Structure 1
Amino acid sequence: MELPRASLSVFERRRVLRLFAAAPAVAVLAACGTESDEPDQLLPLATAAKADAALANAIARTHSGMSETARELAAARTAHATALQREIDRVAPRDPEDPPSVPDPAPKKAPSTAGAAADALRTAMRQGQQQAANLVPGLPGHRAGLVASVSAGCASLQEVLG
């Protein structure tokens, strides 16, 4: 026994409606499935920024002639680390009870001479600038802007150090 043509179209419409109703659920599952288990690309930048700030603070405590410049550099790199940490946490929210995803670096010891200390800061800024610049092309727009700002900030700090 064949069903009349009108009843087939009702069944087809119901099937289409079910597919449309299920589409949001499928989209959510697909989005969840594409989340990467790899560490955030910004973690090494934030870790380096914190380490640079610790080095600069150690130099500020050890070499009085460089203390003002080193403290300014430490403040700038701390701001970089904070902005990067904020972006990391925005993408992968964490429980406020958990420690930050970017740990504080081990205490740093300043180089023994002012010349070596200045060289260490220049090297750190050059590496930070290059590390950020290399990452920019592979990032989405909003993250690329943040990382490019960090790169530009490190380049500016290199100029301050001479």
Structure 2
Amino acid sequence: MEPSRASLPVLRRRRALRLFAAAPAVAVLAACGGEPEEPDQLLPLATAAKADAALANAIARTHSGLAETARELAAARTAHAKALQREIDRVAPRDPEDPPSVPDPAPRKAPPSANAAADALRTAVRRGQQQSAELVARLPAHRAGLVASVSAGCASLLEVLG
């Protein structure tokens, strides 16, 4: 038995709708299929945040007068590194068995004097603030918000450090 003429256009429309509905998924899969051609722009920021946290932790262990401030700074910069790492991994998912794309920094030694240690913290945080502020304008909106937040956090830390 042959389908009636009235049912043919419905079948064609449904099939066309399915094809159109699948097109965005195919485009996304094609765009996500290959390896990124260049390193993620957030990698240097995440690496710097981890390094700043390591420096702050070393200073907290060595200089008791700076310990509380250094620990707070380490916690803030660790949070920055984690947020940036999550975004990096969202864009380029990695196997959980693989090491993080942002490696842990080498152990740091604190500067010998408290003044030099405080200056080192200021310099590190200022660099993190500038680095992230410069990058914001070149990022898509969803990433710019994250990086602007890191920049603002570093600016706040600079105020605390004086």
Identify the TM-score tier after normalising by the shorter chain.
Answer: 0.7 to 0.9
Letter in 2 for 1:142: H
1:130 aligns with 2:125: no
Q: 2:47 — aligned with what? A: 47
In the aligned structure 1, how far is the partner of 2:21 from the partner of 2:121?
58
1:74 aligns with 2:62: no
TM-fit CA distance, 1:37 = 1.7
Q: What TM-score comes out, normalization by structure 2 length? A: 0.82
Letter in 1 for 2:92: A
Q: 2:60 — aligned with what? A: 60
Structure (1 or 2) with the larger CA radius of gyration: 1
In the aligned structure 1, how far is the partner of 2:94 from the partner of 2:62?
36
| Residues 1-162 of structure 1 mapped to structure 2, 5 A cutoff | 27-28=27-28, 30-32=30-32, 36-162=36-162
TM-fit CA distance, 1:28 = 4.9
Residue 61 to residue 32, structure 1, CA distance change in 2 (3 Å): closer
Choose 51-60 or 27-36, whichever is displaced more. Answer: 27-36
**Count of residue pairs the alignment pairs up:** 146
In the aligned structure 1, how far is the partner of 2:49 from the partner of 2:100?
14
Letter in 1 for 2:153: G
List, as ranges, runs of 4+ consecutive aligned residues in structure 1 with deviation greater than 6 Å.
Answer: 19-22
Deviation per CA, 1:44-98, whole angstroms, max 9, x where unpaired?
A: 0000000000000000000000000000000000000000000000111111111
TM-fit CA distance, 1:27 = 2.9
Letter in 2 for 1:87: E
Deviation per CA, 1:104-131, whole angstroms, max 9, x where unpaired?
A: 0000000000000000000001100000
In angstroms, what is the RMSD of aligned CA positions?
Answer: 2.3
Q: What residue ranges of structure 1 are gaps of 5+ in the alignment?
A: 1-15
Letter in 2 for 1:126: R
In the aligned structure 2, how far is the partner of 1:26 from the partner of 1:74?
43
TM-fit CA distance, 1:36 = 3.0
In the aligned structure 2, how far is the partner of 1:111 from the partner of 1:67?
13
